[in-house]
A and B are shown apart, each in its own frame.
Chain A
């Protein structure tokens, strides 16, 4: 069991209010990602759940039990830190065994669990090495191993992949997702990378300046963003926004169109926005065009890899009419 509930949680450091008021319900077995720009309070929120910070007000419930004042060890949660936080003077085996040793588990049982975790995580041949002698990905796996042997109620990950190179990041992303499917334990995963959020999460919490902007499934967030912030944050490349007269035509304060929701043409088309290609980024599968649209500014547009637009070409953009997002003056979706 591992349901986590936050009830009007507030956190201030001195006079600085980092988290004004958050209420969240995370179901048992769910993979929830906290995503948001750097400094928005993701780590703070995670540390509040872990018990590494005290709440200023509000309650944290684990499995329905009020754990607001409980020390970290009593909460039965495991955390994987961004810096891995391995114990440098211990071997991989001792690192993984440490929480079990602290729980005074019998030696044979510890050994069996460590062996099992090591095999699951492909660490069997490194058990006697020190963390210093491991690569970044291996260290990450040791940190995960240390978390899983405890069989916690829930896992907390704080940007666990941000110190890895791009290829390894994709690999570890898959491994963590697979691990979740295997263990079916609640996981909370913090990241600033919306691609990680979209690919891994059952549900995503979008945070901005300590507030929950939206809590929903990845496709919900993509298709029905609650406000302009979520619309701009979810999706890659970012959504293009237009204010003023053009938006007013749609009875909105501003409108947004994702790069993938344009039809392109080289010849003038009625109702299309005319622009000039500034940069064409060829990825092979796709091409991203950065288009200077007259009177709107720079747009990003996705087109097929075969399209041969290049710098200086004129292009006419027609947004798909059903894919135009409308926002009110307060940024809320209409």
Chain B
């Protein structure tokens, strides 16, 4: 990209893709914005026209909105904590020279290839079902009373399912980081008298901080919009106990047929995501410099 000619060429070649992507993004966004200022309810098709900020005040003043906001934060944080800590732990184990390492790694990675609704169904009916789930069987076997996961701990259940899905991703990234640590550095630390815990704390952790940052950033983006797992398992309930912002938009716009309010919720969700991204970048993004 040194000369004016190559720069111009690059711009021209990129233009079609950029224009296409721009339209791809801008059309839905503009439509959402437009609907969010309209009276547009499928239940009441006669009521149309400009609504002003009514949709927004309706969404934000709704008590379930605050609960959904809190649920979103708990969901994101819970999954992040489980995947980062669990992922580090599994990565450390997988880094050990053991027999059958290759197969073990593939097995550990495999949950990532299961589609979210399928994963949720497996957990819902296979593991967490109150009557015939595997966990219930095990609890009965050791003489405990089985838990009705989705009724008693709806949000925790969703967190467990989502964490199970994202654990492989975190493990994979962290394992790669772990393996890029130079052998000589570990050996130097060993000779300097650092035991396993100190080596982990002073050498391995700082080395992995950048990978942890990447895991947090990427996962947060996806976790803010968790939907399928909730839809398949708890349906956001009981009440609003496991409804996050994304699912609230769905409940308002699709289940309650209020497109206007749903769109307003969507716009609010986009704004929240941007605020989170902003603070996240400030908090952990400095790890990515240089």
Q: Do A and B bind each other?
A: yes
> Which A positions have Cβ atoms within 8 angstroms of B?
50-52, 71-73, 77-79, 81-83, 85, 87-90, 98-99, 102-103, 146, 150
Q: Contact between A85 and B190 (Cβ–Cβ < 8 Å)?
A: no
The contact of B184 among A73, A81, A90, by CB within 8 Å, is A81
Q: Could you list which residues of chain B lie within 8 angstroms of chain A, going by C-beta atoms?
A: 182, 184-185, 187-195, 198, 202-203, 206-207, 209
Known interface pairs A81-B184, A85-B185, A89-B206. Does A72 touch B191 (Cβ–Cβ under 8 Å)?
yes
Complex CA distance for A49 and B206, rounded to whole angstroms: 29
Taking A85-B185, A87-B185 as contacts, is the C-beta distance between A78 and B202 under 8 angstroms? Answer: no
* Beta-carbon nearest neighbor of A78 in chain B: B191
**A102 adjacent to B203 (CB under 8 Å):** no
Which of these, A79, A82, A103, contacts B191 with CB under 8 Å? A79
Known: A87-B203, A89-B206, A98-B202. A81 touches B188 (CB 8 A): yes
Q: B206 to chain A: which residues have CB within 8 Å?
A: 87, 89-90
Give the residues in chain A near B195, CB-CB below 8 Å: 73
User: A85's contact among B187, B193, B194, B207, by CB below 8 Å, is which?
Assistant: B187
Contacts of A98 on B, CB cut-off 8 Å? Answer: 189, 192, 194, 202
For B189, list chain A residues within 8 Å (CB): 87, 98
Tell me which of A51, A71, A83, A102 contacts B192 (CB under 8 A). Answer: A102
Which residues on B sit within 8 Å (CB–CB) of A77? 191
Query: Who on chain A is nearest to B184 by CB?
Result: A85
CB-CB < 8 A to A79: which residues of B? 187-188, 191
Instruction: Closest B residue to A75 by CB, please name it.
Output: B191
Residues of A near B184 (CB, < 8 A) are 81-83, 85
Q: When the two chains form the complex, which single residue of B191, B193, B198, B209 contacts A50, counting CB atoms closer than 8 Å?
A: B191
Cα distance A52–B206 in the bound complex, in angstroms: 23
Contacting residues, chain A, for B203 (C-beta < 8 A): 87
Bound: A89/B189 CA distance, A: 13
Query: CA separation between A288 and B182, bound complex, in Å?
Result: 43
Contact residues in A for B194 (Cβ distance below 8 Å): 73, 98, 102
Check A87–B191 contact: CB distance below 8 A: no
List residues of chain B with CB within 8 A of the CB of A82.
184
Q: How far is it, in angstroms, between the C-alpha of A79 and the C-alpha of B187 when the chains are bound?
A: 9
Judge whether B193 and A102 touch: CB under 8 Å: yes
For A73, A83, A85, which residue has the most chain B Cβ atoms within 10 angstroms? A85
In the complex formed, the residue of A with least CB distance to B206 is A89
Instruction: Judge whether B190 and A99 touch: CB under 8 Å.
Output: no
A72 to B194 CA separation, bound complex (whole angstroms): 10
B188-A85 in contact (CB<8A): yes
On whether the beta carbons of A81 and B193 are closer than 8 Å, the reply is no
A259 to B16, CA, bound (A): 71
In the A-B complex, list the 9 residue pairs whose CB atoms are closest, starting with the nearest.
A99-B192, A85-B188, A85-B184, A89-B206, A102-B193, A73-B193, A81-B184, A72-B191, A102-B194
Bound complex: CA A150 to CA B194 (Å): 13
Chain A nearest Cβ from B259, distance in angstroms: 52
CA distance A97 to B154 in the complex (A): 50
B187 contacts A81, C-beta separation under 8 Å: yes
Chain B residues with CB under 8 A of A85: 182, 184-185, 187-188
**Are A52 and B182 within 8 A (Cβ)?**
no
CB of B205, distance to nearest CB on chain A (Å): 9
Contact between chains at B187 and A102 (CB < 8 Å): no
A52 and B192 form a contact (CB under 8 A): no
Distance, CA A51 to CA B192, complexed state (A):
12
Residues of B within 8 A of A72 (CB): 187, 190-191
A87 touches B202 (CB 8 A): yes
A-B contact pairs, 15 of them (CB 8 A): A50-B191, A72-B187, A72-B191, A73-B195, A83-B182, A85-B182, A85-B184, A85-B188, A87-B202, A87-B206, A90-B202, A102-B194, A146-B192, A150-B192, A150-B193
For B207, list chain A residues within 8 Å (CB).
88-89
Chain A CB within 10 A, most for which of B192, B194, B198:
B192
Distance of A218 from chain B, by nearest CB (Å)? 28
| Shortest beta-carbon distance from A129 to chain B in Å | 14
Known: A83-B184, A85-B185, A89-B207. A52 touches B191 (CB 8 A): yes
**What's the Cα separation between A102 and B193 when bound, in Å?**
6
Q: Which residue of A lies closest to B194 (CB)?
A: A102
Q: How far is the CA of A83 from the CA of B185 in the complex (A)?
A: 9
Q: Are B193 and A99 in contact (CB under 8 A)?
A: yes
Instruction: Report the separation of the CA atoms of residues A87 and B187 in the bound assembly, to the nearest whole angstrom.
Output: 11
- Smallest CB–CB gap between B189 and chain A, Å? 8
> Which partner residue on chain B sits nearest A76 by CB separation?
B193
Roughly how many angstroms separate A88 CA and B208 CA in the complex, as a whole number?
A: 12
Task: Look across to chain B and name the residue whose beta carbon is closest to the beta carbon of A152.
Answer: B191
Residues of B near A51 (CB, < 8 A) are 191
Q: How far is the CA of A293 from the CA of B19 in the complex (A)?
A: 76
Smallest distance from the beta carbon of A130 to chain B beta carbons, Å?
A: 10
Rounded to whole angstroms, the CA-CA distance of A304 and B184 in the bound complex is 46
Residue ID in chain A nearest B290 by CB atoms: A132
Name the distance in Å between A1's Cβ and chain B's nearest Cβ. 19
- A224 → chain B closest CB, angstroms: 37
